[in-house]
Structure formats: C-alpha cells, structure tokens
Amino acid sequence: MEKSSITKLQRRRALRDRGPDTEFSRRLGNAIRDLRRARGLTQSQLGHPLTKGYVSEVERGHSLPSLRALAFIADRLDVPLGELLQEVKGGLPSVYTAADENEHAKAASGHG
C-alpha cells in the first residue's frame, strides 16, 4: 500500500525538525554521553529539570543545546564549559579566521 502524500509530508517535516545533526552537534553529544556514563549518571539525572528526551536528543546530535543549557550540563558533569568545548572542537573547520578578516577589510576598502 502506497503512503499518502500527507504521510510523506509529515515524515519530511519530522526529519527536517529533528535538529542540526552536524558534525559538531554529534561530537558534542558524544562527549556529553561519554562524560555522563563515566560519572555513572542517567540521562534523567544529568538533565533534571531538563527532560530525559532532551538530553537524549543532545547526546545523539539531533539537538544543539543553548549556551545556558550547555553550561548547565557542563556543571552537572563537573567539567568546565571551556574544557567540554575544547574536547569537541579539534578537527572542526574554523568559521572565521584572521585571514578571513583581512580579506573582508580589503573588500570593504575597495582594494583586492
């Protein structure tokens, strides 16, 4: 039996709304999961008052936590936020570098 167009649309929306699913979000989620497990915490224990479902989404890389939520999670894991981010940033491309800034300055001044 072929699925209706409504079912197909709902599936596409569910996939789209699932979250970022980027390399960064997956690496961050893996780091959080590894630290949580090393400390013997459940997702519920780590997240309270955040939901277990939210923590699961973060750990799978489907949701990227806000800075506030990430700071909360890092505090619960007893790890400085900077250290948590340092663990996941290695190997990721930089977004904006000094070389980029120089290129933008040249373009803005009309030279280049």
Closest listed residue to residue 51, CA positions, set 65, 37, 38, 39? 65
If you average pLDDT over residues 78-84, what whole number do you get?
A: 91
- Residues 38-47: tens digit of each pLDDT: 999 999 999 9
Confidence of residue 89 (pLDDT cuts 50, 70, 90): confident
- Residues 13-48: tens digit of each pLDDT: 554 455 567 888 899 999 999 999 999 999 999 999
Closest listed residue to residue 34, CA positions, set 92, 84, 75, 93? 84
Confidence of residue 52 (pLDDT cuts 50, 70, 90): very high
Within 13 A of 92's CA, how many CA atoms are on the CB side? 16
DSSP code string of 92-111: SPPSS-HHHHHHHHHHHHT-
Residues 92 and 27: their CA atoms lie apart, in Å, by 10
Full-model pTM? 0.66
Cα Dmax for the chain = 63
Q: What is the CA radius of gyration of the chain?
A: 19
